[in-house]
Structure 1
Amino acid sequence: MTLHTPSLRFKFALFFIAASACLASAEAAKPSKNKVSAKTAQSQGALYATREDAMQFADDLASRRNLDPAWVRQAIGQSRFNPTVARLMQPPTKSFVKNWRVYRSRFIDPVRIRAGVDFWQANRSTLARAEAEYGVPAEIIVGIIGVETIYGRNTGNFRVMDSLATLAFDYPSSHPRMQERSDYFKGEIEQFLTMESRRNADPLKPLGSYAGAMGMPQFMPSSQAKYAVDFDGDGNIDLWNSPADVIGSVASYFKAYGWQPGMPTHYPVSFDTSRLDMDALMAPDILPTFGVASFMAKGAMLEGPALEHQGPLALIELLNGPDAPSYVAGTENFYAITRYNWSSYYALSVIELGREVAQAMGQGNGR
């Protein structure tokens, strides 16, 4: 799920939203007693028409965006508080140990690989066109769509306006950054209603994730406004039913976030314990910071093509529960994937799912 926020602190905070949504989609093809049902997703809470603050926001939004005030009041007023959405936004009450192998198994599985092959075969020419136009490999695009929604199988069953309104006006007050998050989702309502007005569409119909992410690529409204493209040329952007628009929009997103055509996403890394400065290597987190020489001077050893890499690298750590962590050297393209979801686990799952699908297609290219 793509998330765009005004501050670095908030971006890290909202990582938990995106990670939770992705883990939920990972279970979409599996029966689970914990899965949110459609009935629960559409929980009938109070209408926001009864809330003075929500109606004042509607009037202000309509004036600011030059929208029909009655239409905006109707859209927000007929949205309902959804207690399930509010509950899912609460931080986990129990700590958990990150485990890359477990995380990977939820996304790299036969169901997604088979679905990915079908998607690639059905959209081969469009994926090739997107790669030629934006420089983003087909396998990365395929990996994103597979991790997010299993190629449209699980795009969410929460009414988007209910989710956005709940999080804009009733974000859990116990959260230390409640106001900041509330303001973020008010901005998403503004983007969403502006788009729906331009399309002359009913804003109460679209369904998405509990955080308001939409369609096959799970774009938040602000992401759709900035990066979505009409890649099938029909004059409309449809992220639910047009694979071409989805493919082009994902590629557009990555190009906007600095994707470097032809650059690998990561390299293997080992350690020279005699000079290893792990604190220094880990200090920038996933932000590529070190040139090859300075990376190796701190004890992170590279070999082969990695020695010729031009550009900064980051040491990416993936915990494996009680076992030793896994490490890779991430490039600027690895970092670009984390702009879709602020998680190195997510990014590597996207890369490896795309690679598995490519190999199943008989055209893995090692990117």
Structure 2
Amino acid sequence: MTLHTPSFGFKLALFLIAISAGAASAKDVKPLKVKVSARAGQAQGPLYATRADAMQFADDLASRRSLDPEWVRQAIGQSRFNPTVARLMQPPARAFVKNWRVYRSRFIDPVRIQAGVNFWQANRSTLARAEKEYGVPPEIIVGIIGVETIYGRDTGSFRVMDSLATLAFDFPSSHPRAQERSDYFKGEIEQFLTMESRRNADPFEPRGSYAGAMGMPQFMPSSWAKHAVDFDGDGSIDLWNSPADVIGSVASYFKAYGWQSGMPTHYPVRFDASRLDMDALMAPDILPTFGVASFTAKGAVLEGPALEHKGPLALVELLNGPDAPSYVAGTENFYVITRYNWSSYYAMSVIELGREVAARLAP
């Protein structure tokens, strides 16, 4: 497939990076005069055109993906280090006590619930079509989009190219998985530039989260490439402005990670103190591991439909600060939600927001 060379169109004079691969230095490069906004999402640091490692990566990427090498060099070279992005990726300075009630209150609020009602009402037929095609119920899709961006109200103000470049080439070394994360974001740059080239688009136009997530569902470039779908059938995928594409893409994502139609996300659970083996129950964390018989033999008490559950379960613990934790028995579908964001607190917020919205819609 022949790829078109995109026009940058971002009101910057084009420049040539007068370096050979792997031999860049500040004196070799004539940097662009970039007009930088004072908004929080705008980068303030130096251009990556001065970095030999970044330029070598650009050449390698262009070769791997059969992209125009000068265009890729310009895209990466005109990206800027964003100190805010680097700071937000730093591990917390001190440990904090998780609190499910506080976390929940950030997402289950009247404004977000009403916005969810409006979104569901406006897209009822599309949500039903997504459930029919992918098996993912409307309340889960509505919960995801609401938790992520309040249905498109806040999709992020960081220039995606700057965020991805900062995290690819300057991921904070204090992070315990710095090299692994740096490699991950290099892969995201590759996916993003491939996507922008195919769309003949300006790679400096998209804005997103500080990690480079984009659109109403906050898809990373790799998720966009793998799971986004043209659900409105207009010939393109638009996760910023097409609710249908967003709904279909979220459902596609969950289906790809193993969502099982009709399966609950979790069940209530209590404990029989006389035979409770909490260490064993907690050992797998949130990965569903125990059959019902094994789960209950370790002191977890289930009732009603939970006793008929056919798949594995996990004991999900939600800390409540100084108060007693909350617990649920998580199913494989609960675990699928955590593949969107690796947090049981996040998953429960998605579930409960969707339920609150659904309850408001009920006659």
Structure 1 length normalisation: TM-score?
Answer: 0.88
Work out the CA distance in 2 between the residues paired with 1:254 and 1:199.
25
Match of 1:3 in 2: none
Distance 1:38 1:338, change over 3 A: farther
Letter in 1 for 2:192: F
Match of 1:172 in 2: 172
Say which SS state the counterpart of residue 40 (structure 1) adopts.
coil
Distance 1:38 1:316, change over 3 A: farther
Match of 1:247 in 2: 247
Decide which moves more: 43-52 or 84-93. 43-52
Higher RCO (CA < 8 A, seq sep 6+): 1
Work out the CA distance in 2 between the residues paired with 1:146 and 1:173.
33
Question: Once the two structures are superposed, what CA deviation does each residue of 1:42-87 show, in whole Å capped at 9, x if it has no partner?
Answer: 0321111111111111011000000000110111111111000001
The answer to whether residue 34 in structure 2 is matched with residue 39 in structure 1 is no
Decide which moves more: 318-327 or 173-182. 173-182
Match of 2:153 in 1: 153
Say which SS state the counterpart of residue 39 (structure 2) adopts.
helix
Work out the CA distance in 2 between the residues paired with 1:120 and 1:77.
42
Work out the CA distance in 2 between the residues paired with 1:57 and 1:145.
34
The answer to whether residue 187 in structure 2 is matched with residue 187 in structure 1 is yes
Work out the CA distance in 1 between the residues paired with 2:357 and 2:173.
43
Work out the CA distance in 2 between the residues paired with 1:298 and 1:181.
37
Work out the CA distance in 1 between the residues paired with 2:310 and 2:102.
33
Question: Once the two structures are superposed, what CA deviation does each residue of 1:133-186 show, in whole Å capped at 9, x if it has no partner?
Answer: 000000000000000000000100000000000011111123332221111100
Letter in 2 for 1:357: V
Say which SS state the counterpart of residue 325 (structure 2) adopts.
strand
Question: Once the two structures are superposed, what CA deviation does each residue of 1:317-361 show, in whole Å capped at 9, x if it has no partner?
Answer: 000000000000000100110110111100000000000000011
Distance 1:274 1:38, change over 3 A: farther
Structure 1 contact 288–335 (Cα < 8 Å) conserved: yes
Structure 2 contact 143–353 (Cα < 8 Å) conserved: yes
Percent pairwise identity: 88
Work out the CA distance in 1 between the residues paired with 2:40 and 2:346.
27
Say which SS state the counterpart of residue 153 (structure 1) adopts.
coil
Question: Once the two structures are superposed, what CA deviation does each residue of 1:253-300 show, in whole Å capped at 9, x if it has no partner?
Answer: 000011110010000001000000000100010000111111111100
Work out the CA distance in 2 between the residues paired with 1:177 and 1:356.
37
Match of 1:344 in 2: 344
Work out the CA distance in 1 between the residues paired with 2:329 and 2:250.
24
The answer to whether residue 311 in structure 2 is matched with residue 311 in structure 1 is yes
Letter in 1 for 2:163: S
Work out the CA distance in 1 between the residues paired with 2:304 and 2:287.
23
Match of 2:208 in 1: 208
Match of 2:106 in 1: 106
Match of 1:78 in 2: 78
Match of 1:233 in 2: 233
Match of 1:284 in 2: 284
Q: Please show how residues 14-33 of structure 1 align to structure 2 within 5 Å.
A: none
Structure 1 contact 38–158 (Cα < 8 Å) conserved: no
Structure 1 contact 316–329 (Cα < 8 Å) conserved: yes
Work out the CA distance in 2 between the residues paired with 1:163 and 1:262.
38
The answer to whether residue 53 in structure 2 is matched with residue 53 in structure 1 is yes
Structure 1 contact 38–157 (Cα < 8 Å) conserved: no
Match of 1:124 in 2: 124
Work out the CA distance in 2 between the residues paired with 1:341 and 1:67.
31
The answer to whether residue 269 in structure 2 is matched with residue 269 in structure 1 is yes
Say which SS state the counterpart of residue 41 (structure 1) adopts.
coil
Question: Once the two structures are superposed, what CA deviation does each residue of 1:2-25 show, in whole Å capped at 9, x if it has no partner?
Answer: xxxxxxxxxxxxxxxxxxxxxxxx
Work out the CA distance in 2 between the residues paired with 1:263 and 1:40.
42
Say which SS state the counterpart of residue 39 (structure 1) adopts.
coil
How far apart are residue 40 of structure 1 and its match? 2.4
Work out the CA distance in 1 between the residues paired with 2:296 and 2:173.
47
Question: Once the two structures are superposed, what CA deviation does each residue of 1:198-246 show, in whole Å capped at 9, x if it has no partner?
Answer: 1111111100000000000001111111111010111111110110000
Aligned residues, how many? 327
The answer to whether residue 263 in structure 2 is matched with residue 258 in structure 1 is no
Match of 1:33 in 2: none
Say which SS state the counterpart of residue 45 (structure 1) adopts.
coil
How far apart are residue 38 of structure 1 and its match? 6.6
Work out the CA distance in 2 between the residues paired with 1:72 and 1:95.
40
Work out the CA distance in 2 between the residues paired with 1:179 and 1:330.
32
Match of 1:219 in 2: 219
Match of 1:134 in 2: 134
Structure 2 contact 291–311 (Cα < 8 Å) conserved: yes
